[in-house]
Amino acid sequence: MLINRKEIQIEWGHCDPFGIVFFPRYFEYFDACTNALFHRALGLPKAEMLRRFQIAGIPLVQASANFFAPSSFGDVVSVESCVTQWGKSSFSVQHRLLRGQTLAVEGFEKRVWTVRPGGDPSKAVSQAIPPEVIDKFS
């Protein structure tokens, strides 16, 4: 199983008035970490991945997080991300945000491999994930 690690510097603007990361920011981090995971696995930045596989994207259809310890301005955290399950057209990603050795946040995403039928920009439908993509994560 491919695990990607990404370091994130907690910035002032990520924090709430109490000086800790405002919870929606974690979902921004996780989105960036999913992109980094795919970039590492496929060797393609997201824009190139979309062109190469002729997809509309990998939109988020479900997200959740468990919060165990706060992170604050100036902290450097590490996020470990991996695909935990592949479906026909969907996949699940787990993110573990660590502050040092402490698990601070655990996030979960479900995403869908989508295309625009007939090039219609107002519609997106799921499509089977190519086996060559899944193989890159082994």
Looking at the structure of the chain, the number of domains it has is 1
Please, which pLDDT band fits residue 106 given cuts at 50, 70 and 90? very high
DSSP 28-48: HHHHHHHHHHHHHHHS--HHH
Report pLDDT digits (tens) over 13-54.
Answer: 999 999 999 999 999 999 999 999 999 999 999 999 999 999
Query: End-to-end alpha-carbon separation of the chain, Å?
Result: 5
Please, which pLDDT band fits residue 120 given cuts at 50, 70 and 90? confident
- In angstroms, the CA 14 to CA 23 distance is 9
The pLDDT score that the predictor gives to residue 122 is 81
- In angstroms, the CA 107 to CA 105 distance is 6
Q: Is the pLDDT of residue 118 over 90?
A: no
Domain span at 70: 4-135
Q: Is the pLDDT of residue 111 over 80?
A: yes
Q: What does the pLDDT average to over 124-133?
A: 94
Q: How much of the chain is in helix, strand and coil states, percent to nearest 5?
A: 30, 40, 35
Q: What is the mean pLDDT of the chain?
A: 96
The pLDDT score that the predictor gives to residue 117 is 85
Q: Is the pLDDT of residue 124 over 90?
A: no
Residues carrying an active site annotation = 16
- In angstroms, the CA 102 to CA 89 distance is 34
Position of tokens 């086996």?
131
Report pLDDT digits (tens) over 56-82.
Answer: 999 999 999 999 999 999 999 999 999
The pLDDT score that the predictor gives to residue 119 is 73
- In angstroms, the CA 134 to CA 131 distance is 5
Strand 76-86 relative to strand 4-9, pairing: antiparallel
Position of tokens 């190139």?
48
Q: Are 66 and 121 in contact (CB under 8 A)?
A: no
CATH code of the domain covering residue 128 = 3.10.129.10
Q: Is the pLDDT of residue 121 over 80?
A: no
